[in-house]
Amino acid sequence: MFTIVGLGLSACSKSENAGIEEARKQAAAENKAKMNDPNLQVKKIDPPVPGQQKLTCAQLVDADKFTQLLGETAPVVVHQMKDDGEAAASCSIIRGGKPPSEAEQTALKKKNGRLGVMPGDEICNIATYCWTIEAADRFAKKCVESKANMDTALGFPACLRVMPEGEADKNNYKFFDDDTKCIIGVRGGPSMVDNDIIGKCAKGAHDLIGPDQIKPGAAPAAPAGSGSGA
């Protein structure tokens, strides 16, 4: 009698083990199917410029187009700056032409009370922040929290910060760019107090910088008139 019961328990145990093994194999097969299903796979999202790679200002800023946009009489020069460690590129647009003589500078200062932006001076700076994953709503929230204003006067939402500088109030812009998914910052040069021109620089950055311009190693936008500086 004891022998019969023992055989029954042994048979039951083998049956249970077989069922468990079959369930394990089925679960493994289902998991494998899910891993191979593109609709169920988690897609990796990279920042616009991965790996904190640097961009060149020659590829970002088309000097000829910015010359026309800003209404400059001489071609602008684009300098690659090195003072912004968080930006994929920091680019200064420099006024072209021949600097006035000392006598001409004295006359200008007497007439206008200031020299303004001379040939060789910075008109504006464009910095591209492309190493993080950003979103328009999150950027707008950060702008308001920083006590700046979301402004649409340029034709697109931009975080506007007014910077008092002597007798002038200079506009600084930052905006989330829908095309590139970068944050782009634009400020005027040290002698630039014309907010209309600073706004044109910001609009140019918004309209002329796209996905092709933020690809590391992309061809220069406008080789002529580009340079590098510290």
DSSP codes, 160-175: EEEEEETTEEEEEEEE
- Packing angle, helices 63-70 and 195-208, rounded to 10: 140
The residues, ordered by sequence, that sit 6+ positions from 70 with a Cβ below 8 Å of its Cβ are 76, 93, 123, 197, 200, 201, 204
Q: What is the pLDDT of residue 34?
A: 64
Report yes or no: 63 and 78 within 8 Å, Cβ to Cβ.
yes
Chain-centroid distance of CA 86 in Å reads 10
Report yes or no: 99 and 120 within 8 Å, Cβ to Cβ.
yes
Q: What is the pLDDT of residue 50?
A: 94
Q: What is the pLDDT of residue 163?
A: 93
Per-residue pLDDT at 4 exceeds 60: no
Strands 226-228 and 77-81: parallel
Per-residue pLDDT at 55 exceeds 60: yes
Q: Span 150-171, mean pLDDT?
A: 93
Encode pLDDT of 74-129 as tens digits: 999 999 998 678 999 999 999 999 988 888 778 877 777 777 899 999 999 999 99
Percent of the chain with pLDDT over 90: 62
